[in-house]
Copies of this chain bind each other. A is one copy, B any other.
Amino acid sequence: MRMGERVEWALHCCFNLGFVGPDVAVTAARLAAFHGLPAAYLNKQLQAMARAGIVESSQGPGGGFRLARSPQQITLMDVVTAIEGPDPAFRCTEIRERGPAGMWGTSQRACTIDAAMRQADLAWRRSLAGQTVADLMATFQNTYPAMPDRIKDWFTTAHA
């Protein structure tokens, strides 16, 4: 099982957009340059977050992306769902139905194995839903007090 790098990118973008604040829009190219990523592909992930209502997009000169709501109202679960989709990692394909046991009437109840895996998935989702972008920003600011302003400056001032 492997989670795509896209999620990492999206989280870092939300993180930095949180420090920049909702007043200015940051282009995908600028965010890509800050992280050393391919701009066009990162743009795709930002679009996905825009569809999910996490960020707002504006076109034209001076356009770009900004957080659609407060960092306190954006959980890691929101971001992961926006990028990776809502489906759980484990998907029961009901192989118990394909063999001879399929005739034995064991499909009245939910698959025992599926239930167990769903429970683990739920624990994972709860942990993600319990952490907001604001929490990450606070932890980071606590470790590096001067960094938030530095980040905001980099994004709000012009660059070659």
Tell me the A residues contacting B by CB distance below 8 Å.
1-5, 7-9, 11-12, 15, 33-37, 76, 80, 84, 87, 89-93, 95-96, 98-101, 104, 106, 109, 112-113, 115-117, 119-124, 126-128, 131, 135-136, 139-140, 143-144, 147, 150-151, 154
Contact = CB atoms under 8 A, between A and B. Distances in A.
Given A36-B99, A37-B95, A112 B139 contact: yes
Nearest to A87: B2
B128 A140 contact: no
A143 B7 CA distance: 40
Contact of A35 (B1, B4, B8, B96): B96
Q: How many copies are assembled?
A: 2
Contact of A120 (B36, B76, B106): B76
A137 to B, nearest CB: 8
B91 A3 contact: yes
Given A99-B36, A117-B76, A89 B123 contact: no
- Give the secondary structure class of A's interface: helix
A101 B34 contact: yes
20 contacts: A1-B7, A2-B89, A2-B91, A8-B90, A8-B92, A9-B95, A12-B96, A34-B99, A34-B100, A35-B98, A76-B116, A101-B151, A106-B144, A112-B143, A113-B136, A116-B135, A120-B124, A121-B124, A123-B123, A123-B124
A121 B126 CA distance: 11
B1 A113 contact: no
